Amino acid sequence: MIKSELIQRIARRNGQLYQRDVETIVSTILDEITAALARGDRVELRGFGAFSVKKRDARTGRNPRTGAQVSVQEKCVPFFKTGKEMRERLNENYQD
Protein backbone atom coordinates (compact mmCIF):
# COMPACT_ATOMS: atom_id res chain seq x y z
CA MET A 1 0.00 0.00 0.00
CA ILE A 2 1.27 3.45 -0.84
CA LYS A 3 0.50 6.73 0.92
CA SER A 4 -2.24 7.78 -1.53
CA GLU A 5 -4.01 4.42 -1.12
CA LEU A 6 -3.87 4.78 2.67
CA ILE A 7 -5.40 8.25 2.41
CA GLN A 8 -8.19 6.98 0.14
CA ARG A 9 -9.05 4.08 2.48
CA ILE A 10 -9.17 6.33 5.54
CA ALA A 11 -11.34 8.87 3.68
CA ARG A 12 -13.74 6.09 2.56
CA ARG A 13 -14.08 4.70 6.07
CA ASN A 14 -14.65 8.15 7.55
CA GLY A 15 -17.23 9.80 5.31
CA GLN A 16 -17.41 12.87 7.52
CA LEU A 17 -13.80 13.78 6.62
CA TYR A 18 -12.74 15.35 3.36
CA GLN A 19 -9.93 13.59 1.51
CA ARG A 20 -7.75 16.73 1.68
CA ASP A 21 -8.14 16.76 5.48
CA VAL A 22 -7.15 13.10 5.71
CA GLU A 23 -4.14 13.84 3.49
CA THR A 24 -3.11 16.66 5.84
CA ILE A 25 -3.48 14.41 8.88
CA VAL A 26 -1.48 11.53 7.38
CA SER A 27 1.26 13.87 6.14
CA THR A 28 1.47 15.59 9.53
CA ILE A 29 1.81 12.27 11.36
CA LEU A 30 4.55 11.06 9.00
CA ASP A 31 6.35 14.42 9.22
CA GLU A 32 6.28 14.29 13.03
CA ILE A 33 7.65 10.74 13.07
CA THR A 34 10.41 11.81 10.67
CA ALA A 35 11.25 14.90 12.75
CA ALA A 36 11.41 12.84 15.96
CA LEU A 37 13.75 10.31 14.34
CA ALA A 38 15.92 13.14 13.00
CA ARG A 39 16.28 14.38 16.60
CA GLY A 40 17.30 10.87 17.64
CA ASP A 41 14.05 10.19 19.49
CA ARG A 42 12.17 6.91 19.51
CA VAL A 43 8.53 6.82 18.37
CA GLU A 44 6.31 4.11 19.80
CA LEU A 45 2.78 3.44 18.58
CA ARG A 46 1.30 0.93 21.02
CA GLY A 47 0.01 -2.19 19.31
CA PHE A 48 1.68 -1.19 16.04
CA GLY A 49 5.40 -0.89 16.66
CA ALA A 50 8.32 1.37 17.39
CA PHE A 51 10.49 3.47 15.13
CA SER A 52 14.06 4.21 16.18
CA VAL A 53 17.39 5.20 14.69
CA LYS A 54 20.39 2.90 14.50
CA LYS A 55 23.89 4.08 13.82
CA ARG A 56 25.97 2.21 11.27
CA ASP A 57 29.72 2.59 11.67
CA ALA A 58 31.99 3.54 8.81
CA ARG A 59 33.31 0.54 6.91
CA THR A 60 34.99 -0.58 3.74
CA GLY A 61 32.45 -1.77 1.20
CA ARG A 62 32.66 -3.21 -2.28
CA ASN A 63 31.24 -1.94 -5.55
CA PRO A 64 29.17 -4.92 -6.77
CA ARG A 65 29.69 -4.03 -10.43
CA THR A 66 33.48 -3.58 -10.44
CA GLY A 67 34.51 -5.32 -7.23
CA ALA A 68 36.54 -2.25 -6.22
CA GLN A 69 36.72 -1.37 -2.54
CA VAL A 70 34.97 1.83 -1.49
CA SER A 71 34.80 3.55 1.86
CA VAL A 72 31.31 3.90 3.30
CA GLN A 73 30.83 6.71 5.81
CA GLU A 74 29.02 6.19 9.09
CA LYS A 75 25.32 6.91 8.90
CA CYS A 76 22.07 6.68 10.78
CA VAL A 77 19.29 4.48 9.42
CA PRO A 78 15.65 4.16 10.48
CA PHE A 79 14.63 0.93 12.18
CA PHE A 80 11.12 -0.43 12.81
CA LYS A 81 10.22 -3.14 15.29
CA THR A 82 6.68 -4.49 15.18
CA GLY A 83 4.56 -4.46 18.30
CA LYS A 84 3.31 -7.58 20.01
CA GLU A 85 -0.32 -7.02 18.94
CA MET A 86 0.66 -6.62 15.28
CA ARG A 87 2.83 -9.75 15.34
CA GLU A 88 -0.04 -11.72 16.87
CA ARG A 89 -2.54 -10.46 14.27
CA LEU A 90 -0.16 -11.26 11.42
CA ASN A 91 0.50 -14.76 12.69
CA GLU A 92 -3.02 -15.79 13.78
CA ASN A 93 -3.66 -17.38 10.37
CA TYR A 94 -0.42 -19.39 10.44
CA GLN A 95 -0.96 -21.33 13.66
CA ASP A 96 -1.37 -25.10 13.44
Residues 4-23 have pLDDT tens digits of: 999 999 999 999 999 999 99
Same domain, yes or no: 35 and 56:
no
Q: Do residue 50 and residue 74 come from a single domain? A: yes
Residue 92 has pLDDT above 90, yes or no: no
63 in a structural domain: yes
pLDDT value at position 96? Answer: 56
Read off the pLDDT of each residue in 41-70 and give the average, rounded to a whole number. Answer: 95
Q: Is 13 exposed, middle or buried (0-12, 13-18, 19+ CB in 10 A)?
A: exposed
Same structural domain for residues 58 and 21? no
> Is the same domain home to 55 and 18?
no
Contact (Cβ atoms closer than 8 angstroms) between residue 44 and residue 33: no
* Domain carrying residue 65: 42-91
Among 44, 38, 36, which residue's Cα sits nearest to residue 75?
A: 38
Tell me if 96 is assigned to some domain.
no
Q: Is the pLDDT of residue 68 over 60?
A: yes
Q: Is the pLDDT of residue 40 over 60?
A: yes
- Statement to judge: residues 33 and 51 lie in one domain: no
Instruction: Average the pLDDT over 52-65 and give the result.
Output: 95
Q: Secondary structure of the chain: what % helix, strand, coil (to 5)?
A: 45, 30, 30
d(C-alpha 7, C-alpha 30), whole Å: 12
Total domains present in the chain: 2
Name, in order, each residue with C-beta under 8 angstroms of 44's C-beta and a sequence gap of 6 or more: 50, 51
Return the bridge partners of 79, or none.
Answer: 52
Query: Do residues 29 and 52 share a domain?
Result: no
